[in-house]
Amino acid sequence: MLYSMDDMFNILPTVIVVAWATALILVEAFLPKKYKFITIWLTVLGLVVALVAAINQHGIEAEAFNGMLVVDGFSSFLNILILGSGILAVALAVGYNKRFGFDRGEYYIMMMFSIAGTMLMSSAADLIVIFLALELMSIPLYIMAAFYRGNVNSEEAGMKYFLLGAFAGGFILYGIGFVYGATGATGLSQVVTAINGGVDSPTFLLVGAALILIGLGFKVAAVPFHMWTPDVYEGSPTPATAYMAVGAKVGGFAALIRIFVVAFPTLSTDLVPILWGLVALTLVVGNLVAIAQKNIKRMLAYSSISHAGFILMAFLPYGDAAVFKSSVAAALFYLLAFAITSFGSWGVVIALEKSEGKGLLLEDYAGLGRKYPALGVAMLIFMLSFTGIPPTIGFAGKFLLFKAVMEGGYYGLAILGVLTSLFSAYYYLRLVIIMFMKSGEPNIVSDRWVTLVTASSAVATVVLFMVSTPLFAWAEQAVLKLF
Amino acid sequence: METEVIVFLILAFVAIGSAIGMIINKNAVYSALFLILNFATVAIFYLMLGAPFIAMAQVTVYAGAIMVLFLFVIMLLGAEQLKKADKGEWQKPVAILFVVVLIVEAVYLIFGGGGDLLPMINEVSEVGDPISLATKLFKEYFLPFQVTAVLLLAAMVGAIVITKQDKKS
């Protein structure tokens, strides 16, 4: 017997989410129309139960299913992050979906499946499982993007995301094929053994690694694989955008870090120049194009591209055994900072969005700070955090990131990061100026769950800055056993 | 070994050719037929790699069942209409040529004992027969198998959700 109940127990949080989502499909189908809201509560309950299981699992280190999954600090950090994100995403979606008339319970079920996929990605240690988990994460995202039926933009977003996502999936699969051809293995540890023993065709291995990098670069929206991002983010229902901005990044970076740090450290000399270019392009294009945007959803889309660049930056010294731990920890910390800030800012967008895509232009935010000071201040905090100005968690994230990158010896990139952060200050703070200095009469839609998410994210953005040292210590502990 | 390379080259040529044919053809039915040819060629690749079970699954499931569905949908949607231009007169000699080749092959296999083609087919290693496949699937690859199941469930539910009409509107 190659698997047992212990294996199931080791991946308990994932098992809970999958089983819960599957059961919810049936519950949703048999609930009378009046009681459909129960699905939402059950989704949150399921995520909370899984979150408790994930927290409970903290500190456990184990292998499951014949080494195909690894349970360690890294996976439990990301599991907690994605489950928390899921709860926030549900809270953002409840009122919005009802307001726009597509409040179907399947939305939450799809999200749960996507979360399960992301969780599997964070602990997958076999290329086959990584690919399947990636698809399990992505396919529900395509559906969530197209969920606003009858809305052309949403349908376009879903279709575009699906076609390009499938294309990227093909790249990853082809890359896995090359790696298998070169090493004869798909398990990451076997791949490493094979590489250390010397492979017959290092070129095939390199091509495979590059193809995997391209595919995952697409998922995390790194330039030049970012073209889908603004259109999909703009067209999707905003709560779905909020979720996919965080969920797809968490999953993509989880796989990227796990695959490259564990399996391909020897290729780093060949890959680092490519990564360097990728990071530089992502930072420059993301931040510069964001300046030209007039629609807040597109602006946040380019902002999320640029943050993918920052996270990728931490990835650069991955082959350097002395530095990679603190840099991967910085990437994890940055992901956390990005997730909190991102959910908060999308919450503000949802509060202002009207039907037919109205209320999404930057001008629509004029006067927000005067009419609704609390909301204005919350948005101010998120923009400061995105820019990386204290006292916000975004500052802590960027500080730790640049420190790690400098330790790795990539001074040029660190300077580029600081410079592009300055560029980004222009468009983030422009929004703040519009909110507080310009006069206007914005109307917000009152939605207590969105308010709750926005308020708690704003508080967390500041408070977590205060406790960023222990938080970073936690992230650092998470990557200790990654190797 | 030599035969294997020759067979591979011919098949590779057919596979790529049929894939291109599928893409560039304007008639949806022709495209579907090219796809069947492509699937069949890939099935023979599997056979050459010593995986007869996967080859048969490829033929029955993909080239068979799924393609019938494809053709069915194409015909239902009426996408098979074609501007009449080509009556296909040139096809006759080509078809006759292929038939002759096929007959020669069959005669060679039946009366010539298959020559050095047979050992290749007999060389079914333990990799590809149903028993070892099942063992791999349900033991070593138990987790990916289950994840695939969940993935297909999610995709199916999602596809229904985004295409289903609302009862009200």
Chain B residues with CB under 8 Å of A110 CB are: 154, 157-158, 161
Tell me, what's the pLDDT at B4?
82
Q: How confident is the model at residue A201 (pLDDT cuts 50, 70, 90)?
A: confident
Q: Number of Cβ pairs closer than 8 Å across A and B?
A: 71
What is the distance in angstroms between the Cα of A155 and the nearest Cα belonging to chain B? 9
Structure tokens that stand for A480 in this block: 């200790």
Tokens for A405? 């990158």
Q: How far is A248 from chain B (nearest CA, A)?
A: 16
State yes or no: pLDDT of A386 exceeds 80: yes
Q: Has residue A469 got a pLDDT over 90?
A: no
> Which of B151, B153, B155 is facing A22, going by the closest CB pair?
B153
Q: Is A231 on the interface with B (CB under 8 A)?
A: no
- Are the beta carbons of A129 and B147 separated by less than 8 Å? yes
CB contact under 8 A, A132 and B154: no
Assess if residue B95 is contained within a domain. no
In chain A, % of residues over pLDDT 90? 60
Q: State the pLDDT confidence band at A45, using cuts at 50, 70 and 90.
A: very high
Q: Is residue B97 part of a domain?
A: no
Q: Which of B81, B107, B142 is the last residue of a domain?
A: B81
Inter-chain CB proximity B142 and A3 less than 8 Å: yes
Structural domain total, chain B: 2
pTM of the model: 0.88
Report angle CA A300, A302, A303 to the nearest 5 degrees.
60
**Residues A58, A60, A61, A63, CA torsion sign:** negative
Whether the per-residue pLDDT at A73 is higher than 60: the answer is: yes
For the segment A276-324, what is each residue's pLDDT rounded down to a tens digit? Answer: 999 999 999 999 999 999 999 999 999 999 999 999 998 888 877 778 8
For residue B140, list chain A residues with Cβ-Cβ distance below 8 A.
Answer: 2, 66
Q: Provide the H-helix boundaries in B112-139.
A: 118-122, 130-135
* Interchain proximity B166–A120, CB inside 8 Å: no
In the predicted model, is pLDDT for residue A127 greater than 80? yes
CA B122 to chain centre: 21
Task: Tell me the nearest-neighbour CA distance from A111 into chain B, angstroms.
Answer: 10
Domain range spanning residue B138? 129-169
Q: Which residue, among A434, A92, A76, A26, has the nearest Cα to A254 in the 3D structure?
A: A76
**Average of per-residue pLDDT across A44-65:** 89
Whether A2 and B154 lie within 8 Å, measured CB to CB: no
Interface test with B, best of A5, A6, A27, A66 (most B CBs within 10 A): A66
Instruction: Name the pLDDT band for A483 (thresholds 50, 70, 90).
Output: low
Q: Taking 80 as the threshold, does the pLDDT of residue A27 lie above it?
A: yes
- What pLDDT does residue A122 have? 92
Statement: residue A223 has pLDDT above 90:
no
Q: Is the pLDDT of residue B168 over 80?
A: no
Q: Which residue on chain B is closest to A26 by alpha carbon?
A: B157
Residue B80 distance to chain A (closest CA, Å): 24
Are B65 and B137 members of one domain?
no
d(CA A294, CA A363): 8
Q: What is the CATH number of the domain that holds B67?
A: 1.20.120.1200
- Confidence bin at B169 (pLDDT 50/70/90): very low
Which amino acid type is present at position A209?
A: A
- Asked if residue A50 has pLDDT above 80, the reply is yes
Q: Given B81, B105, B121, which residue is the final one in a domain?
A: B81
Residue of B nearest to A154 (CA): B162
Least confident of A41-45, A341-345, B45-49: B45-49
**For range A135-157, the mean pLDDT:** 92
Structure confidence at residue A369 (pLDDT): 87
Amino acid type, A172 = I
Cβ–Cβ gap B157/A147 under 8 Å: no
Of A167-176, A338-347, A456-465, A468-477, minimum mean pLDDT range: A468-477
Q: Is residue A451's pLDDT more than 70?
A: yes
Question: Who's near A99: CB < 8 A, 6+ residues apart?
Answer: A355, A445, A447
Tell if the CB–CB gap between B147 and A22 is shorter than 8 Å.
Answer: no
Note whether residue B76 is domain-resident.
Answer: yes
Q: CA of A140 to nearest chain B CA: how many angstroms apart?
A: 7
Q: What are phi and psi of A60, to 5 degrees?
A: -75, 140
Q: Per-residue pLDDT for A204 more than 70?
A: yes
- Quick one: pLDDT at residue A25? 93
- Which residues 182-201 in chain A show a CB within 8 A of chain B? none
Is residue B90 domain-resident? no
| Model pLDDT for residues B101-147, shown as the tens digit of each residue | 999 888 887 777 655 555 555 555 556 677 878 888 888 888 999 99
Percent of chain A with pLDDT over 70: 99
| Whether B74 and B1 share a structural domain | yes
pLDDT score recorded for residue A345: 94
Q: Summarize the confidence of residues A39-45 as an average pLDDT.
A: 93
Q: What pLDDT shows up at residue A269?
A: 84
Contact A3 B155 (CB under 8 A): no
Q: What is the mean pLDDT of residues B33-57?
A: 87
CB of A160 within 8 A of CB of A142?
no
> What residues does A124 pair with on adjacent strands?
A69
SS3 sequence of chain A: CCCCHHHHHHCHHHHHHHHHHHHHHHHHHHCCHHHCHHHHHHHHHHHHHHHHHHHHCCCCCEEECCCCEEECHHHHHHHHHHHHHHHHHHHHHHHHHHHCCCCCCHHHHHHHHHHHHHHHHHHECEHHHHHHHHHHHHHHHHHHHCCCCCCHHHHHHHHHHHHHHHHHHHHHHHHHHHHHHHHCCCEHHHHHHHHHCCCCCHHHHHHHHHHHHHHHHHHCCCCCCCCHHHHHHHHCCHHHHHHHHHHHHHHHHHHHHHHHHHHCHHHHHHHHHHHHHHHHHHHHHHHHHHHCCCEHHHHHHHHHHHHHHHHHHHHHHHHCCCCHHHHHHHHHHHHHHHHHHHHHHHHHHHHHCCHHHCCCEHHHHCCHHHHCHHHHHHHHHHHHHHHCCCCCHHHHHHHHHHHHHHHCCCHHHHHHHHHHHHHHHHHHHHHHHHHHHCCCCCCCCCCHHHHHHHHHHHHHHHHHHHCHHHHHHHHHHHCCCCC
Q: Is residue B92 part of a domain?
A: no
B48 falls within a domain: yes
- pLDDT, chain A, mean: 90
Label residue A61 by pLDDT band (50, 70, 90): confident
Residue B99 domain flag: no
The SS3 assignment for B82 reads coil
Which of A28-37, B14-23, B72-81, B157-166 shows the lowest per-residue confidence on average (mean pLDDT)?
Answer: B72-81
Is pLDDT at B55 greater than 90 in this prediction?
Answer: no
Q: Please give the average per-residue pLDDT across A352-362, as a whole number.
A: 83
**Of the spans A33-37, A44-48, A438-442, B112-116, which averages the highest pLDDT?**
A44-48
Please tell me the distance from the alpha carbon of residue A317 to that of residue A265, in angstroms, as a whole number.
Answer: 10
Average the pLDDT over A451-463 and give the result: 93
Residue A319: what pLDDT?
77
Instruction: Let me know if residue B120 belongs to a domain.
Output: no
Chain B residues within 8 A of A106 when measuring between CB atoms? 157-158, 161
Partner residue facing B151 (CB), from A65, A126, A136: A136
Query: What pLDDT does A421 receive?
Result: 92
